[in-house]
Amino acid sequence: MIHQLIFAHPKPGMTEKEFQDYWVDVHAVRYASKIPQIKKYLIDTRIPFGPEPDDPLWSGIAEIWLENEEEQLASLQTPEFLEGARLDEPRWAAFWRTVVLDTDAHVLRAGDHPAPADGVKLVLLAKRTNGTTVEEFRERSLGAHAELMLKVPGLRRYLQCFTRDGAYAVGESLLDAAYLLSFDSLQALETAAASPEFTQATDDLTRFVEPRYIHRMAVREHWVIGDETS
């Protein structure tokens, strides 16, 4: 199963709230959800957390699940995509700032179901250090680093999503992984982020990824098709 993450930014002149409302209430319902190959579809909208940049890199993430590469290619050839979702994107998203990652997800903590209504998720993006192979990076991430992160208080659900091998076939991928950490509330996330366990885990991350390429974003989930239990 391909777990695709699409990071998007509002088009010029659109506020973040307008961008998020259009994505969730219009684009997702009228266009993207109509693409028949999509198995599950989730929109993550950015929420304030910690020091805020004047212009965040992205204001939301689409998470899309597709069965395989054949289904993914077929989805891009459907009228629902070509005449619907694709044509609608410039109405709300700055396409030149969009980043797409096709990943393989590893569930390290499944979490209790269903997720609480006020739950939040912290998304951490990472790029491995120079001289570290993809295999070494994944092994370290799933091993010693995961052990540290799983000790963080209040961590309800934990996924490590690695960029798929195909992204390295003709060069280097922009990013190597997205870490998805779910908490019951924003307060639970804030408590976790202030904990010594989280500090130890994030300090460990800087030992095998490039610190300047670590990006983080807190989000709220909006399920459009399916949910985390399906």
Separation between Cα atoms, residue 196 and residue 118, nearest integer Å = 24
Judged by phi (left if over 0) then psi (alpha if -120 to 50, else beta), residue 147 lies in alpha
Separation between Cα atoms, residue 4 and residue 63, nearest integer Å = 6
Task: Note the pLDDT of residue 79.
Answer: 97
Q: Is the previous residue joined to 114 through a cis bond, with omega within 30 degrees of 0?
A: yes
DSSP class of 29: H
The backbone torsions φ and ψ at residue 170, rounded to the nearest 5 degrees and listed phi first, read -120, 15
Taking only the tens place, the pLDDT of each residue in 1-49 is 999 999 999 999 999 999 999 999 999 999 999 999 999 999 999 999 9
Task: Note the pLDDT of residue 188.
Answer: 97
- Dihedral (CA of 119, 123, 179, 75) sign: positive
Residues of the chain with pLDDT under 70: none
Task: Note the pLDDT of residue 227.
Answer: 85
Separation between Cα atoms, residue 229 and residue 98, nearest integer Å = 28
Q: DSSP string of 11-35?
A: PTT--HHHHHHHIIIIIHHHTGGG-
| Residue whose tokens read 């924003």 | 186
Separation between Cα atoms, residue 174 and residue 127, nearest integer Å = 7
Task: Note the pLDDT of residue 114.
Answer: 79
Separation between Cα atoms, residue 168 and residue 101, nearest integer Å = 12
Domains of the chain: 2-225 (3.30.70.100)
Alpha-helix residue ranges (DSSP H) falling in 26-133: 28-30, 69-75, 79-80, 86-88
